Structure 1
Amino acid sequence: MTPTPHDALFKATFSQPEHAAAALREVLPAAVTARIDFATLALQSGSFIDQKLAASQSDLLFSARLGRTSVFIYVLFEHQSTTHPLMAFRLLEYMVRIWHGYLERHPKSTRIPAILPVVLHHSDTGWNAAVAFQELIDLPPGTLALIAEHVPHFRFVLDDISAETDEALRARAMTALGRLVLWCFRHARRPDELVARLSGWYEVVREVRRAPGGGAALARVWRYILNIADPAQPRELLQRLLAAAGPEAEEEIVTIADYLREQGRLAGEREGQRSALLKQLRLRFGELPEQVVARVRAADAAQIEGWIERVITSPTLDDVLTER
């Protein structure tokens, strides 16, 4: 599945331990951060979210030393318009998947590592649901205390940036890139407002550019803004973005804008070729099976071109679609 702009920027930025460590120090309880050796923070492979939720969630798993043992830190980024009331249950499912993976790698282990769940959230409403798993248990009043030790019990760390001001985000003890990316997420639903406010972040942008790899990092930010904007007047938005980002960003932004336009043109051409191929196949062979339509929709440019060349001369539908 093609990653969303939110997913791509989140992972490109916070998969780097430097940016992740600073963000985690900001939101984890101080007593916990004092015991974690963030110099050992390391990204782990894998994603644990349900594929049907991939358009609204992204996740990263880290490990770090805590005293004489290791702990997992699981960060879930939720970028949807509302709060999910069963988030604690969803997190429990993801945590169990993490433990399953750990035990597959360590089949002789008789203990499992702790997982610190962290949710980065942004919505129109702000967070308004439970953050503790036990709050989801449906029991008569006063009963939970009687069975509390017999049911799962955890709270996730919530970083709700929905109502954070620009000043509060700018003041966070994080890397410049981390602060800039969170600010972009905070205003992502109103791209025009994001661009209008960008000039106020000029010094942060300059700080990002001065850091190692800063130019490439900013290119990802500009691509994100242009991807989410989808403006009615793209040229006007581009000019506003150029004015707000400063002259240093002109080459980066113009190059990315050209790239996005070219990708859009190519995508349009490919979609036109798919539609033309499906029409030709129906004219030759009648109504098409669903799996054939799905195969054409998922095909790349080279496959489509090959099928178009064979559709007139091939005697059967199978012969058209047979790879050669």
Structure 2
Amino acid sequence: MQTNAHDALFKAAFSQVEHAAGELRQALPPELSSRINFADLRLCPGSFVDEALKERHSDLLFSASMGEARVLLYLLFEHQSTVEPLMAFRLLRYMVRIWEHHLAEHPGSKRLPAIVPVVLHHSERGWASGTSFEELLDLDEGARIAVGEHVPRFRFVLDDLSQEADEALKARRMSAFSRLVLWCLRHAREPEELLARLGKWLDLMNDVRRAPNGAEALRTIWRYILATNERDEADEVLQRLLAAAGESWKEEIVSAADQLVERGRQEGLREGLQQGRRHMLLRQLGARFGALPDAAVARVNAADIAELDRWSERVLTAPTLADVLSEP
């Protein structure tokens, strides 16, 4: 639940270009940021993260003009407690997927758009690894210099929330909602701090409340705080949140809590239906192919709706188990 809450908050804020522009301006080096026309920043469709890593990474892709060309800005949010030492390699894979997607949409193109990778990070101790691809190569310094022009070379932009004080976050030149979101993510692993420090952020919440769509933006914040405190009794967390925020916020907080409960019911129902479909597919596979290997059972149990649909269509006609579970 907490990982889903991090992802939902990240995308609720930064899939809106006015909020994403503030984060990107903050993170990018000034000499680069000054060349980008953020007035025409656009969100691009798609996610390029490995399926197995979606519990740890969330991503958004944007394009903006830079001179006469358009540049792609790839924002990756890493919501895990440890540092990923191979982050530059993972980013290279995602960047290649973005370029492949671009070429599929622009057949015959002879040039590629520039991609600037930006990592938004928060962990217990902060980033403690390299930010350039070259640093991953198993070479001494002299050898690295010698092969320099013959291997991939890039450095990703790092915005490490772990090292940012609350006062610095609050002073960023970004929308009030964006600053609140970063503050929430900064203390995501210490939910007690979200409640303890809430009083110092109520002025910013009032700014959000007065902005267009401010009430819904605040409900997003309240839902996140409630969700990240899920290890405690829900009623107790709600009462503590109401006490920390004050009476004037009661209606909005209670509304957010009700939405969270209803969403939990809906997700539980969807998961129950999905689990039922997995069970049915396993029975059909067993009836056709006999005892199933553990790897096949694990694949079905981890499958999403699209995969279950595809395999259910094949189960009656595919000649082998491998054919049923093959990729599209």
Same fold? TM cut 0.5: yes
Contact 1:121 1:158 in 2 (8 A): yes
Contact 2:133 2:155 in 1 (8 A): yes
In structure 1, what is the Cα distance between the partners aligned to 2:40 and 2:256?
35
Q: Which amino acid aligns with 2:223?
A: R
Q: 1:3 to 1:80 in 2, by over 3 A?
A: closer
Contact 1:181 1:221 in 2 (8 A): yes
Write the deviation string for residues 218-273 of structure 1: whole angstroms up to 9, x where unpaired. 11111111112113232221112112233342112112223333454566688889
What's the counterpart of residue 322 of structure 2?
none
State which structure, 1 or 2, has the greater radius of gyration over its C-alpha atoms: 1
How far did residue 164 of structure 1 move? 1.1
Query: Superposition pairs for residues 131-142 of structure 1, below 5 Å?
Result: 131-142=131-142
Write the deviation string for residues 30-65 of structure 1: whole angstroms up to 9, x where unpaired. 111111111110000000000111111100000000
| Percent identity between the two aligned chains | 55
User: Does the alignment pair 1:155 with 2:160?
Assistant: no
TM-score normalised per structure 2: 0.81
Query: Superposition pairs for residues 110-189 of structure 1, below 5 Å?
Result: 110-189=110-189
Structure 2 residue matching 1:162: 3-state secondary structure:
helix
- Structure 1 unaligned segments of length 5 or more: list them: 300-324
Q: 1:269 to 1:97 in 2, by over 3 A?
A: closer
User: Does the alignment pair 1:57 with 2:57?
Assistant: yes
Q: 1:298 to 1:164 in 2, by over 3 A?
A: closer
Contact 2:3 2:79 in 1 (8 A): no
Contact 1:202 1:246 in 2 (8 A): no
User: Does the alignment pair 1:194 with 2:194?
Assistant: yes
Structure 1 residue matching 2:252: 3-state secondary structure:
helix
How many residues align? The count is 294
Structure 1 residue matching 2:147: 3-state secondary structure:
helix
Contact 1:121 1:160 in 2 (8 A): yes
Contact 1:63 1:73 in 2 (8 A): yes
Residues 27-36 or 259-268, more deviating: 259-268
Q: 1:84 to 1:207 in 2, by over 3 A?
A: same
Q: 1:144 to 1:177 in 2, by over 3 A?
A: same
Structure 2 residue matching 1:47: 3-state secondary structure:
coil
Q: 1:166 to 1:44 in 2, by over 3 A?
A: same
Superposition RMSD in Å: 3.1
Contact 1:122 1:185 in 2 (8 A): yes
Q: 1:270 to 1:121 in 2, by over 3 A?
A: closer
How far did residue 27 of structure 1 move? 1.3
Write the deviation string for residues 272-293 of structure 1: whole angstroms up to 9, x where unpaired. 8979xx7xxx9xx999977699
User: Does the alignment pair 1:94 with 2:94?
Assistant: yes
Q: Which amino acid aligns with 1:159?
A: D
Contact 1:231 1:237 in 2 (8 A): no
Structure 2 residue matching 1:143: 3-state secondary structure:
helix
In structure 2, what is the Cα distance between the partners aligned to 1:17 and 1:265?
31
User: Does the alignment pair 1:4 with 2:4?
Assistant: yes
In structure 2, what is the Cα distance between the partners aligned to 1:184 and 1:121?
13
Q: Which amino acid aligns with 1:28?
A: L
Q: 1:185 to 1:143 in 2, by over 3 A?
A: same
In structure 1, what is the Cα distance between the partners aligned to 2:188 and 2:147?
43
Write the deviation string for residues 97-131 of structure 1: whole angstroms up to 9, x where unpaired. 00001111111111101011100000012101110
TM-score normalised per structure 1: 0.82
Q: 1:3 to 1:82 in 2, by over 3 A?
A: closer
What's the counterpart of residue 205 of structure 1?
205
Q: 1:168 to 1:256 in 2, by over 3 A?
A: same
In structure 2, what is the Cα distance between the partners aligned to 1:272 and 1:47?
26
Contact 1:15 1:43 in 2 (8 A): yes
Contact 1:71 1:114 in 2 (8 A): yes
In structure 1, what is the Cα distance between the partners aligned to 2:128 and 2:268?
41
Q: Which amino acid aligns with 1:200?
A: K
Q: 1:31 to 1:264 in 2, by over 3 A?
A: closer
In structure 2, what is the Cα distance between the partners aligned to 1:247 and 1:223?
17
Q: Which amino acid aligns with 2:111?
A: R
Contact 2:219 2:255 in 1 (8 A): no
Q: 1:294 to 1:132 in 2, by over 3 A?
A: closer
Structure 1 residue matching 2:163: 3-state secondary structure:
coil
What's the counterpart of residue 69 of structure 1?
69
User: Does the alignment pair 1:85 with 2:85?
Assistant: yes
Residues 182-191 or 239-248, more deviating: 239-248
